[in-house]
Structure 1
């Protein structure tokens, strides 16, 4: 396969990429995916049955809206909602519609969901080279669960449209119009703003999202080529609570980045001493209370980990659990029921380091610092 031509690389450069690519298989077809950024090739890029599905580009972040937005953009900016879920790219290869994770793996459960809930064949008939990019959100989510009032179980929301081989994005306005024509649900568009004057409007949008416990915004140039993200305090606290519920499995860098976001937002928001102290209290509670809850669970003989509930076709759920085990994850099924003709499974992805260390410290193990 002349993958190097599809990726725009020389043969030597391609060899430098492919030696780091990982092998996987789906439904009898072996493929490769790139787990990290290599020589201009995005993380999650997939080489599947002679075709290329480019990885989704990394989106930079600003910590100060008033300065970061005009520095990143010199033309009107479209502001869309950033949702808390997991990133997928959907493409049709050799007649099969497949859903790829951010890291480039075919997720059998997401593929089943997309086939059942979204009729993408008309879109791919007209645009066979499209990569439908979006977020899977909702409480019954096998990767990142978060409640949204309009989602009972799991839902897809498109936020980008790219050429699956080149990775080139579609113009924001054209993308939203096309998805509307094909009935594909999309993330919210708050509006289009001048970058020099956007800070006040963005502050209002972020405050409203924060009050609703939502994640944040993604700002995009109208051609889709330049992007920038910003998250709410509620999202930062939620991430910290999650990380500190598994304190020995998430690195200090993960925690530090979110604390930095809180500090810079407090300064840009020009908070009063009382408001800054309230922010500090909320952050401290997110950190300490989540840790104490995990310690109590282990002390009570339970295992801590990432708990998720999924529902759907029994075969699709079996494929999901097999998919996790193939990745070396330890899965404990805690409930396996039927509801409205579907299988509903609650499982825990066990994180061994946190379980072992909490148990060791509870048993008197000495901490060496």
Structure 2
């Protein structure tokens, strides 16, 4: 990596070596790139530099508000427009088209020497999501007209290798574009402009619940959260009109789902993960729940989210059932095989539950094994002691 790359990244580091020591070389389809797996010196996690010096900026971390009223008034100027969009429970990727004229890139290279890639938040090219982006998003016209931009999208649905959530009308998986940014600088398009642009190119987007000044947006959020909570969906992202300032706010259902997930893998997920979800729930309960009966109902549901999955996991270990995150994926055999290899390269232990063919596609059901939880539960079931 050379000094010209350092200048493109606009880092706060004093010397290139201070920043570049944190980048790791990676390869996909013969294309070599360098990725930053954690934020360093003013450069976002997941930022990528390709061999020709092309920069793909990482997606910024989105803060969370706990007290809705005070939070919105604190983050946004009182007279600016705030857009309230749905936050989807999926897998966040940046989709770009890059030049591969000087490097091998396999059969996926287009006639013009370019290829479409899907980068994860950590800066990896996901082979499975990349193939889906190439097949299911009509990006050619967009990238012809906007070669220096990237699509920020969520892969959602019941058949993804990273998160699993059912959405009406999505039988397997689909993309929802929630942002368009300058690839090298990471500057977002204004929300209204982005929504118009995506409509023009036929990209599906998250639902927009409304747009208002912060004081009025509070009620928009409350109504949206009530609807999303009833449907068991995740929450909302609030964005300033220019797309720069953003915060997220999630539903009670999401808090309980995440706690149930955490306590199904109790010894693999840290205490910080669990405590942060309880903190969110407590602040929302204090702000939303107006009577003691509703608060007790929430407390009951919270307790079930914690205890029931934990007990189920103990039973699974006792009966030698798989323990971990369950996923189903489908596609051509090479793509599925590349995904399984990619997961293994990330240090994940994958246990295949079922491997079959449906309608000409390979369908694999697998579990990302939770080794720490299985080992610890087995130890206690066999009489091991718990040191507090």
TM range (shorter): over 0.9
Aligned length: 369
Q: What's the secondary structure of 2:22's corresponding residue?
A: coil
Q: Report Cα offsets for 1:123-164 as digits up to 9, x if no partner.
A: 011100111001110000100111111211011000011011
Contact 1:308 / 1:348 at 8 angstroms: preserved in 2? yes
Partner of 1:333: 352
User: What is the distance in 2 between the residues matched to 1:311 and 1:261?
Assistant: 35
TM-score by length of 2: 0.93
Partner of 2:31: 29
Structure 1 vs Structure 2 CA RMSD? 1.1
Match of 2:81 in 1: 76
Q: Decide which of 93, 96, 101 is 1:88's aligned counterpart.
A: 93
Mapped to 2, the partners of 1:352 and 1:22 lie a distance apart of 27
Could you tell me whether the CA contact under 8 Å between 1:241 and 1:287 is conserved in 2? yes
For residue 57 of structure 1, what is the aligned residue in structure 2?
Answer: 60
Query: Residues 62-97 of structure 1: CA distance to partner in whole angstroms, max 9, x if unpaired?
Result: 111111111111111011000001100001111110
- Which structure 2 segments of 5+ residues have no match? 100-113
The equivalent of 2:179 in structure 1 is 160
CA distance in 2, matches of 1:124, 1:60: 30
Please tell me whether the aligned partners of residues 4 and 11 of structure 1 are also in contact (alpha carbons under 8 angstroms).
no
Spell out, residue by residue over 1:212-249, the C-alpha distance to the aligned partner (whole angstroms, 9 max, x if none). Answer: 00000000011001001000000011100001100001
Give the 5 Å matches for 1:206-221: 206-221=225-240
Cα distance between partner residues in 1 of 2:233 and 2:305: 16
8 A contact 2:12–2:42 mirrored in 1: no
Given that residues 209 and 220 in structure 2 are in contact (C-alpha distance below 8 angstroms), is that contact kept between their aligned partners in structure 1? no
1:113 is aligned to 2:132: yes
Matched residue, 1:48: 50
The one of 154, 158, 162 equivalent to 1:143 is 162
Kept in 1, the 8 Å contact 2:210–2:220? The answer is: no
Quick one: distance in 2 between partners of 1:157 and 1:233? 23
Once the 2 structures are TM-superposed, how far is the Cα of residue 12 of structure 1 from its aligned partner? 4.0
Matched ranges for 1:195-274 at <5 A: 195-274=214-293
Match of 1:5 in 2: 7
TM-score, normalisation: structure 1: 0.98
Aligned residues of 1:333 and 1:347 also touching (Cα < 8 A)? yes
Q: CA deviation at 1:194?
A: 1.3
| Partner SS state of residue 338, structure 1 | strand
Contact 2:154 2:178 in 1 (8 A): yes
Give every structure 1 segment of 4 or more consecutive aligned residues whose post-TM-superposition deviation is greater than 6 Å: none
CA drift of 1:191 comes to 1.3
- CA displacement at 1:13 relative to structure 2: 3.8
Q: Which residue of 1 aligns with 2:123?
A: 104
Contact preservation (8 Å) 1:139, 1:309: yes
8 Å contact from structure 2 (residues 259, 305) kept in 1: yes
Return 5+ residue gaps in structure 1 as ranges.
none
Pairwise CA distance, 1:22 = 2.2
SS at match of 2:344: helix
